[in-house]
Structure formats: C-alpha cells, structure tokens
Amino acid sequence: MYEFFLRATGLREMKDDISAIQSKVDSMERMIESENIKIKDFELKAAEAEKEYKTCEHIQDLDNKLLKTRKMLLWSKVGEFEEELSELESNLEKVSKRKEQYSQQLAQQGEIDQKSLNRKMKDQMTGKLKKLVDLKNQLTQEVESKRETLRSTTDHVMRIMPRPEGKFPSRTKLVRKKQALQKQLEREKRKHGDFFTAEAAYDKAVEDLKEANEDLRLSRELLEKEKEIYKDRRENWKDSRSDLQTLVNLHFNCILTRQGYYGQLVFDDKEKELTIEAIPAHQEETAVTKALSEGEKSFTIIAFILAFSDLSLFDAPFRAMDVFDIFMDSVNWKISMGLLIKQASSPNPRNQYIFLTPQDINGIPRQSNIRIHKLAAVDRGQQYISFPSNRDA
C-alpha cells in the first residue's frame, strides 16, 4: 500500500531522482578521496624534487664560481697586457732619455775643434745614437701595437664582465682555482645530476601539485553544490509527501462519508507502511481493512483508489479495474459502481475507464458515454478454439 501511494502520487519518481543525486554525491566523495591520495603522492614527489633541487643548487653555485673564475682569467690576461705595455712604455722612456743624452753630447762635441776631436770616439757615439734611434722606433711600434691589443681585448672582456675593482689575482693562481672547481663540479654532477634537469623536474612537480589541488578544490565545490541540491530536493520531497498524505487522506474520508463511513489512512514513513482504517455505518469502533467484511473491504479499497483519482495524480489515458467486486454483496456493489461510474463520467476526455466484473450488470444505467460489452458464456467442454478461415474473412 505504501509503495502504491508513492507511485500513484509521483513521489517514487522524485525519490528515485533523489537517490540518483545521492549516488552522485557518494561517487564524488569517493573521487575526492582518490584525489586526496593522488595529492599526497604529488606532495611526496614535490618534496623529493625540492630536496634534489636544493642539493643541485650547490652545483649551480660551483658552476657560477667557475664562470666567474673564467671571467677573472680574461681580466687577468688584460692585466698581463697592461703590465707588458707599462714595461714597454718604461723602456721607451729610458731609450728616449738616453737618445737625448747622446744627441746633446754629439752637439757639444760639434762645437769643439774638429782637429782636436777624437775621431774614433765620435764614430762610437754616432753608432750608439743610431742604435738608440732604431730601438726607440721599434719600442714605439711595439707600444702602439700593445695598446691596440689591450684596447680590443679590454672592449671584448668588458662585454662579458665589468672590470672588477682592485688588483687582479695572479693568472697562475686563477688557473689552479679553475682546475679545482672543474674537478669538483664534475664529481657533483656525476653524483646528483645536472642542475637544470633537477630544476625542471622540481618545477613540473610543483605545477602538477598545483593542478591537483585546483582540481580538488573544484571537485569539492561541485560536491557542496550537489549536497545542497540533495538537501533541498529531500526537504521538498518530505514536504510534498506530507501534503499529499494530507490531501489523499482528506479525499479518502470524503468518499467514505458519502456513504456514512468514516476512516483515515495511517502513514508510517519510518516503516514504509500504510494502514487503512474505516468505520462502516453500522459500527462504532475503527477497524482496519482485515477486520471488515469482504464487501466493506472492497468498498474501502475502491474509496482508497478513488482518493488518488480525485487528485488527478494519474496521468495515464486508460484506467482499468479487474474483478474488483468479486466478493462484494449487492449493496456495496451498487454503491461502489455508482461511485466508479460517477468518477468515470466526469468531463475529462483524456481518460477512459475499463471495469471488468463477473457480476450482473443489468442494473447499470444506459448512458451515451457508457459502453457495455458482455462475453459469451464459457463452454466448459470446449476442446479447441475455432478461428474464421481466410475464405470466410
């Protein structure tokens, strides 16, 4: 009975929809649990990648130190050029001074009487002066060449690294430092791998964790929305169930009171049970349908069914009742048929009623909207069913 009430009022379909939402909520909760497990895996991978990345930061520091040492070697080369140029300029200055001294000495000798001048000494001084002039010219060319080399080298190195302050370390010391850093860097790379590879792995692990957390956040938002929908639907369903129970009970009692009956429908939502209670006109105490006579029971059941029909909750175009009156006495049968015919005669062209009864139907009134079909009497000795031949058809 309770299930009939749910199906007749459409509450069963609503309940099924709510159950589908509940199943969806359960599925989403399981999915979120699975995502939480995945996030833990992503967090573990991210932690391992971060650890490896921080370890490889030491490798990057070594690489940076090696690069800086190489750049310092370039400036060290510039420093060597500067020292060489300074030495050349110093030598050129010395040669220039000596040349000036010899030139002055020759000029002084020129003022002395040519007869008294030592010819041999004059030739020696002239030869030295010539050598000094040649040496000066050579040094001047070397200084200009060294300056050009220093200028181009300095410009090149400046594009790589600004000139450091202070005095440059010796080139020998820088070479030893470079070799030591290279060996240490090679050892660390063999042990921990490349820094950029570790950095890329760490970035990917962080991005995967971020995406997983975002997916989890969206899933939780959807879950909360589904829970709200489920809660609203369930509350609406409970309200609808309560309203329909009240309406059905009211219509049921109205149908009973037309014939002097009184009764009610008792709904036990917890146990999913529906009890029909009725008081026939000749009784004073309420009785369930099991305590009624067969005729009273059938009439009560018809009143129960009509209570739903009056609410127009059935949307089927055909409504049929089969041998509903098999145990009815003539009084209850007449009352029940009157109620059914009255219900079927209501102006509703969408519905058609079909009543199958073994009772005598001679008392049913002849109306334009009522069509009566009588079946032939059953031949108890019939052995087979005769069908018309094609020729007869």
What is the tens place of the pLDDT at every residue in 124-138?
A: 667 776 777 777 788
Place 349 in a pLDDT band, splitting at 50, 70 and 90: low
What string of H, E and C letters represents the secondary structure of 56-87? HHHHHHHHHHHHHHHHHHHHHHHHHHHHHHHH
Nearest Cα to Cα of residue 292 among 243, 282, 316, 178 = 282
Residue 239 has φ and ψ, to the nearest 5°, of: -65, -45
Residue 392 has pLDDT above 50, yes or no: no
Distance CA(309)–CA(322), nearest Å, equals 16
152 vs 330, residue with greater confidence:
152
Point out which residues pair with 320 in neighbouring strands: 354
Place 95 in a pLDDT band, splitting at 50, 70 and 90: confident
Place 235 in a pLDDT band, splitting at 50, 70 and 90: very high
pLDDT tens profile 181-201: 777 767 776 676 666 777 788
* Residue 392, token pair as written in the block: 């007869």
pLDDT tens profile 300-336: 888 888 887 756 555 667 777 787 777 777 777 777 7
Task: Give me the pLDDT at residue 225, please.
Answer: 92
311-325, 330-344, 346-360: the lowest-pLDDT one: 311-325
Distance CA(81)–CA(234), nearest Å, equals 91
Amino acid at 150: L
Place 115 in a pLDDT band, splitting at 50, 70 and 90: very low
Please compute, for residue 187, the number of CA atoms within 13 A of its CA located in the half-sphere on the CB side. 8
Across residues 95-117, what is the average pLDDT? 65
Task: Give me the pLDDT at residue 113, please.
Answer: 46
Place 393 in a pLDDT band, splitting at 50, 70 and 90: very low
202 vs 161, residue with greater confidence:
202
* Phi-psi label, residue 197: left if phi above 0, alpha if psi -120 to 50, beta otherwise: alpha
* Phi-psi label, residue 191: left if phi above 0, alpha if psi -120 to 50, beta otherwise: alpha
Residue 290 has pLDDT above 70, yes or no: no
Nearest Cα to Cα of residue 236 among 387, 85, 69, 21 = 21
Highest mean pLDDT among 39-53, 127-141, 154-168, 232-246: 232-246
Angle made by CA atoms 283, 309, 317, in degrees to the nearest 5:
150
* Residue 195, token pair as written in the block: 């820094």
Amino acid at 282: H
